[in-house]
Every structure is written in C-alpha cells, then in structure tokens.
C-alpha cells in the first residue's frame, strides 16, 4: 500500500489540470477530465454461482426489499453474509483487479497461524530488502527486536510493508511466503487471485477480486487473533532510535474503524483491511456485526472523484446488507466444497454462534477466545467420559 497522500496529490494535480482545460475550452472540468470507465471482461469465473460470472449488478430482491444504493461508482463490489456465506448482491464480483493492501488478508490467513504471537525477532537489513518504492511503513528499524504481535499490529493498523517483509522472513522468506499464499488461495477456491508480492504492492500480474477478498476476510475472521488485530483502532508500537526507544501510537488507516479524516466510525465494525496503490485505486474489505449477523462488504476502485468515496460506498452497502435481511434471494455463495474443513463445517452449522465468538463487540476490543474447535474437543471429552462410566457400570452389572 502506498501512502494516502499520493491520492491527495493526484487529486490536486487533476483539479488544476481540469480547471485549466475548462478555461480554455469552456467545458465543465468534469467533462474534460472524463475518461472511459474500464469494463469487465466478457467472461469471468462462475465460482460461487453462475450469476456471479455475469457482468453488471446481480441482485434478486423479494417484494418490498430495499433498493441498492443509487450512486455506486466502484468497478467491483460484493455484499455477503459472513455466517451463512450467502452473497446478497454483487457487481462484477470476479473481475480480476489489482488488490493493493487488501491482499494482506491472504498474507495473514497464510502466515498468522504459523508464528506464535509471543515469538520475537531482531530485524536485519536483509529482512527489509525488496520493498517497493514508496511503500507504506509502520516504522520497523534494523537491530530492533519485535514480537510477532507487534508486527501484526503494524500490518493491520498501518499497512506496514516493512512489518510484512519481516514476518515473511520469519516464515522462510518472501518467495516461500508467496508460494504458500498462492496455495492458500487455491485451497479457498480463490481462483481469481495471482500473488506476486506478499504485501499487495503494485506488480505486473498481481490481481485478486472482490469475491476472493471476501473469501480471505471470512476465513480470517474465524481466527481470533486475526479478528483482534483487524479490529484494533489504535495501539502502541515499539520505538527505535528516532524515538529514543519510546513506543509511539499507531492508528488504523481504515477510517470506518478509526473515525478519522472526516469519516465517522461505523457501528459494530469489526475491521478488516483497506488499501491504495496507483494501479488499484482505493480498495476496502470491511465487516460489521449487528445482533447475530455479520455482513461482509468488499469495494474495489471507486471511480467517483469524491473524497473518501470508498468509505462512503462501503458504508452504504453495509447499511443495505443489514436492511435486506431476509428480503433478497442469494445470488451466490462463499461456501465452496474445496474450502470445507472441520472448522468450516462447524461454522456452516452454527454461523451465528461462531461469528459472535470471534468478532469483537466494538472497535479496539478483543474477540472471544473460545473457538468452535475447543468446544468440539470439550464435547468429545464429555462423550468419552460418559462412555467410560457406561462401561464401568456394565462391568459392575456383569460381575
């Protein structure tokens, strides 16, 4: 992810150029600056359902259902129910587009379970080699020792490519991590995703889709640590020489979570990840919970020139997702047979309970730590205990 001030500079340059052309031609600035909107490919993947492979908006409302937001400019978006996996509405959900830092969700899905949160690592120059020019950074410095938990906070809150590269080094290096991420994407049936870098930095051929990014977010939110990191609005990060060793505060760049830069916090927001690069534009994956429902929204590259458009459109889609509860027929699903594991099967059977256990009650608070797998283990122990008692009783009766 490149720094957001690049977008501000881009808009300033665009405004000045458009104004100059308008003065010379007499046309409105918006007309002179207009460029053809990119169009989706003629054929797209049908993973998740045939409708999701069709171009344009896909929604199947019942009588009385709320209308979709009228002014959505994103090239691609999707609204889904995280618990059931049902896709409530989508636009070009399988369009393969640059993902920017939202690809860090796949990085976390892949690497987070492999590294203990309390493990420590002293950073070397080699760990930080290969970062793209202009990469966003949290402030990792060589010679400093960090915990894995510190580094994940740097990834999720500040989209730190420096933290990503250190974690990748701990995972066996960038090439090995990219290979593992691609394998994870395949296991989730995320066929639209091609991984070139672990941090989402613009590279030729690196693409994902709104559908795949929703898969990554849904899979990640089943991990209590993932949910805790992505829902943290602010945290302390270890300081280096520039801060004389003192820690400093880092705020989450997801404005719907942190409530900064003119964007109010969204009630019940869990997180997940935002991004921006020159090629990707603004990208955003968010999840929010009300009562026993968790709605996932992914928005890719709004074409509107309005400031904070990605957050405005995501907010409107979240509102619609909650309002459309029970009033639309699903147009697809995030549930894929290839991605079903014991945890996934349990989540499919009890989506509300699993979502409630993992998702935090508010931004910055930690989710519950009791997982469904633990519950299954407890149940298995109880059954085994009952069986032993029954055998003992039978033995006593037979004696």
Residue pLDDT, tens place only, 132-141: 999 999 999 9
φ/ψ (deg, to 5) at 91: -135, 115
For 187-191, what is the mean pLDDT? Answer: 96
Torsion angle in degrees (nearest 10) through CA of 146, 149, 153, 154? 30
The position carrying tokens 């059977």 is 349
Catalytic position from the list 45, 80, 82, 101: 101
Residue pLDDT, tens place only, 261-274: 999 999 999 999 99
The reply to whether 355 belongs to the active site is no
Question: In the chain, how many domains are there?
Answer: 1
CA-closest candidate to residue 78, choices 190, 230, 196, 194: 190
Catalytic position from the list 76, 91, 104, 273: 104
In a domain, 299, yes or no: yes
In a domain, 21, yes or no: no
Return the beta strands (E) in 206-302 as ranges: 234-237, 248-251, 269-277, 281-290, 293-302
Torsion angle in degrees (nearest 10) through CA of 153, 321, 351, 235? 10
In a domain, 330, yes or no: yes
The reply to whether 80 belongs to the active site is no
Cα atoms found within 13 Å of the Cα of residue 223, Cβ hemisphere only:
19
d(CA 113, CA 373): 15
In a domain, 182, yes or no: yes
Residue pLDDT, tens place only, 99-116: 999 999 999 999 999 999
Percent with pLDDT over 90 in the chain: 72
> Encoding tokens for residue 350?
């009890």
pTM: 0.78
| Ordered DSSP codes for 126-154 | GGGTTPPTTB------TT-EEEHHHHHHH
d(CA 283, CA 269): 17
Q: What is the pLDDT of residue 133?
A: 92
In a domain, 358, yes or no: yes
The reply to whether 244 belongs to the active site is no
- When pLDDT is cut at 50, 70 and 90, the band that residue 219 belongs to is very high
In a domain, 3, yes or no: no
d(CA 148, CA 125): 18
The position carrying tokens 């009228």 is 70
CATH number (domain holding residue 247) = 3.40.710.10
Please list, residue by residue across 191-220, b when 16 or more beta carbons sit within 10 angstroms of its beta carbon and e when fewer do: bbbebbbbbbbbbeebbbbbbbbbbbbbbb
Q: Which helix (H) or strand (E) holds 322?
A: helix 309-323
d(CA 29, CA 20): 8
Query: What is the sign, positive or negative, of the torsion defined by CA atoms of 255, 260, 261, 266?
Result: positive
**Over 70: is that where the pLDDT of 370 sits?**
no
In a domain, 381, yes or no: yes
In a domain, 397, yes or no: no
CA-closest candidate to residue 254, choices 314, 212, 336, 184: 314
d(CA 86, CA 154): 32
Residue pLDDT, tens place only, 173-186: 999 999 999 999 99
Percent with pLDDT over 70 in the chain: 75
Catalytic position from the list 76, 159, 208, 355: 159
Boundaries of domain holding 345: 36-392
Q: What is the pLDDT of residue 358?
A: 42
d(CA 95, CA 97): 6
The position carrying tokens 């970062």 is 131
Torsion angle in degrees (nearest 10) through CA of 200, 131, 179, 270? -40
Spacing of C-alpha 209 from chain mean position: 12
């Amino acid at each position: 992810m490149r720094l957001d001030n690049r977008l501000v500079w881009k808009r300033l340059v665009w405004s000045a150029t458009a104004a100059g052309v308008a003065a010379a031609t007499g046309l409105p600035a918006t007309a002179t600056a207009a460029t053809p909107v990119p169009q989706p490919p003629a054929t797209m993947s049908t993973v998740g359902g045939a409708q999701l492979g069709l171009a344009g908006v896909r929604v199947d409302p019942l009588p009385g259902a709320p209308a979709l937001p009228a002014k959505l400019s994103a090239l691609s978006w999707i609204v889904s129910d995280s618990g059931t996996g049902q896709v409530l509405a989508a636009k070009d959900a399988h369009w393969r587009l640059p993902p920017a830092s939202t690809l860090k969700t796949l990085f976390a899905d892949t690497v987070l379970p492999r590294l203990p949160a309390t493990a420590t690592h002293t950073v070397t120059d080699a760990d930080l080699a290969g970062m793209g020019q202009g990469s966003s950074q949290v402030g990792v410095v060589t010679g400093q020792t960090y915990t894995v938990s510190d580094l994940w906070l740097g990834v999720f809150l500040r989209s730190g490519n420096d933290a990503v590269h250190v974690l990748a080094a701990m995972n066996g290096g960038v090439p090995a991590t990219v290979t593992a991420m691609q394998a994870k994407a395949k296991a989730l049936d995320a066929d639209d995703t091609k991984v070139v870098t672990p941090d989402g930095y613009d590279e030729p051929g690196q693409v994902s889709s709104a559908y795949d990014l929703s898969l990554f977010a849904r899979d990640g939110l089943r991990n209590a640590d993932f949910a805790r990191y992505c829902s943290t609005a602010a945290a302390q990060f270890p300081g280096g020489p520039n801060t004389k060793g003192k820690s400093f505060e880092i705020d989450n760049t997801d404005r719907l979570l942190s409530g900064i830069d003119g964007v109010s916090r969204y009630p019940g927001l869990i997180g997940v990840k935002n991004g921006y690069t020159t090629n990707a534009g603004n990208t955003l994956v968010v999840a929010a919970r009300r009562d026993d429902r968790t709605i996932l929204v992914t928005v890719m590259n709004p074409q509107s020139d309005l400031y904070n458009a990605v957050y405005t459109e995501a907010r409107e889609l979240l509102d619609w997702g909650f309002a459309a509860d029970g009033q639309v027929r699903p147009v697809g699903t995030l549930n894929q047979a290839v991605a079903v594991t014991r945890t996934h099967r349990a989540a499919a059977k009890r989506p509300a309970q699993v979502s409630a256990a993992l998702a935090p009650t508010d931004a910055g608070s930690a989710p519950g730590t009791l997982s469904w797998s633990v519950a299954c283990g407890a149940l298995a122990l109880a059954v085994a205990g009952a069986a032993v008692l029954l055998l003992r009783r039978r033995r006593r009766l037979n004696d």
